[in-house]
């Protein structure tokens, strides 16, 4: 049994995984152009080291993607902040869909900024890991699903924001159909050599396209993986 008096060292972190390391990361994100105070505050408050494999924990607060096994990665903090800021700019978020939960870092960043988040992951062991990570953080407005999200998740639509954290070769039209009025879709589009991060906003039945950055995500793949 854990004593209530002891600080939770795993959550708070020590040394390079400390608050100070997080503060440095947040400063570097601000320098790179992240302006939203809300987004920076959540990044400052969220322990990224709990999402990272022990072998890489000393790199948790570097602004880079890291391997999480199963040939997948935890996204680069700057890209997480950029996508979150982009979808948040339209106003308060009621319902959000994320496609590609991975270990759950992006989910943890958007969850405090939305009423309700649904996130889908196709690889079962990663889904299980995300469930444990988000439980540790006490985020109770998150619904995680094990499944193929390449066509979105129509059951809970429409969404004020859809964040896709794996890259398709083109924008699936099903995702556009699942956007609420003024809803926003942040999606990397392109092959494995690199993609453009697009922000697509629904204005009535038109879709306004903006290109945000060059990025590099793992590919969006079909089907579920059980183990
Ligand atoms: N959001 C994560 C990024 C994880 S990497 C973070 O914040 O770090 C992208 C994830 O997308 C991988 O775990 C991969 O398995 C998952 N993925 C790829 N195609 C998918 C699909 N069709 N449906 C659901 N998840 C998918």
Instruction: Output the pTM of the full model.
Output: 0.95
Residue 83 is classified by DSSP as H
Q: Determine the pLDDT at residue 31.
A: 98
Q: Is the CB of 126 under 6 A from ligand 1?
A: yes
Distance 152 CA to ligand 1 centre (A): 12
Give nearest CA residue, ligand 1 atom 8: 74
- pLDDT at 28 exceeding the cut of 70: yes
Whether ligand 1 lies within 6 angstroms of the CB of 168 is answered as: no
Map out the domains of the chain with their CATH numbers: 9-215 (3.40.50.150)
Question: Is the model more confident about 91 or about 13?
Answer: 91
Summarised one tens digit per residue, pLDDT across range 162-209 is: 999 999 999 999 999 999 999 999 999 999 999 999 999 999 889 999
* Distance (Å) from CA 7 to ligand 1 centroid: 32
Q: Is 39 in the pocket of ligand 1 (CB under 6 A)?
A: no
Bridging pattern class, strands 114-121 and 142-146:
parallel
Q: Rounded to the nearest whole angstrom, what is the distance from the C-alpha of residue 99 to the centroid of ligand 1?
A: 6
Q: Which of 12-21, 71-80, 192-201 has the lowest mean pLDDT?
A: 12-21
Exposed, middle or buried, 18 (CB in 10 Å: 0-12/13-18/19+)?
A: middle
- Angle (CA) 83-88-150 rounded to 5° is 50
CA dist., res. 122 & res. 166, Å (int) = 11
Kindly state the tokens that stand for 190: 């392109």
Q: Check residue 1 and give its pLDDT.
A: 42
SS3 call for 199: strand
Separation of alpha carbons 173 and 146, rounded Å: 22
Confidence of residue 112 (pLDDT cuts 50, 70, 90): very high
Report the candidate in 46, 85, 102 with the shortest Cα–Cα distance to residue 217: 102
Tokens matching residue 181: 């009025």
pLDDT of residue 15: 61
Residue 7: its pLDDT value, please?
A: 56
Q: Which atom of ligand 1 is nearest to the CA of 51?
A: 8
Residue 54 has pLDDT above 70, yes or no: yes
With a 6 Å cutoff on the Cβ, whether 77 touches ligand 1 is no
Report which of 129, 173, 165, 126 is spatially closest to residue 147, judged by C-alpha positions.
126
Phi, psi for residue 106 in degrees, rounded to 5: -60, -40
Give pLDDT, residue 91. 87
Q: Torsions phi, psi of 28, nearest 5?
A: -70, -35
CA 169 to chain centre: 20
User: Residue range 105-130: average pLDDT?
Assistant: 98
So what's the pLDDT on residue 9? 66
> What is the rounded CA–CA span in Å between residue 105 and residue 4?
26
CA-nearest residue, atom 13 of ligand 1 = 102
Please count the CA atoms within 13 angstroms of the CA of 63 that sit on its side-chain side: 17
Is 121 touching ligand 1 by the criterion CB < 6 Å? Answer: yes
pLDDT of residue 90: 82
3-state secondary structure of 221: coil
The pLDDT, as a whole number, for residue 188 is: 98
Which of 8-22, 57-71, 171-185, 204-218 is least confident? 8-22
Known catalytic residues?
75
Look at residue 2 in the predicted model and tell me its pLDDT: 44
Measured distance CA(48)–CA(38) in Å, rounded: 17
Separate counts of helices (H) and strands (E) for the chain: 7, 9
Q: Is 221 in the pocket of ligand 1 (CB under 6 A)?
A: yes
- Report how far ligand 1's centroid is from the alpha carbon of 100 (Å): 3
Place of tokens 């790199």: 59
pLDDT at 3: 43
Instruction: Return the pLDDT at 12.
Output: 74
- For residue 22, the surrounding DSSP H or E stretch is helix 19-31
What's the chain's average pLDDT?
94
């Amino acid at each position: 049994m854990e004593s209530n008096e002891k600080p939770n060292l795993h959550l708070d972190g020590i040394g390079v995984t400390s608050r100070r390391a997080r503060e440095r990361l947040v400063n570097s994100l601000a320098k790179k152009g992240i302006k939203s105070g809300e987004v920076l505050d959540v990044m400052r408050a969220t322990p990224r080291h709990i999402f990272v494999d022990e072998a890489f924990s000393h790199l948790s607060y570097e602004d880079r993607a890291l391997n999480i096994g199963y040939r997948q990665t935890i996204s680069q903090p700057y890209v997480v902040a950029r996508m979150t800021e982009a979808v948040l700019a339209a106003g308060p978020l009621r319902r959000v869909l994320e496609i590609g939960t991975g270990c759950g870092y992006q989910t943890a960043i958007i969850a405090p900024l939305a009423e309700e988040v649904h996130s889908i992951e196709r690889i079962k062991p990663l889904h299980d890991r995300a469930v444990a990570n988000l439980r540790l953080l006490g985020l109770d407005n998150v619904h995680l699903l094990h499944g193929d999200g390449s066509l979105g998740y129509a059951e809970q639509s429409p969404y004020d924001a859809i964040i896709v954290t794996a890259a398709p070769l083109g924008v699936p039209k099903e995702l556009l159909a699942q956007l609420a009025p003024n809803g926003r879709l942040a999606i990397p589009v392109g092959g494995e050599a690199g993609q453009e991060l697009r922000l697509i906003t629904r204005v009535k039945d038109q879709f306004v396209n903006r290109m945000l950055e060059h990025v590099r995500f793992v590919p969006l793949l079909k089907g579920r993986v059980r183990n």
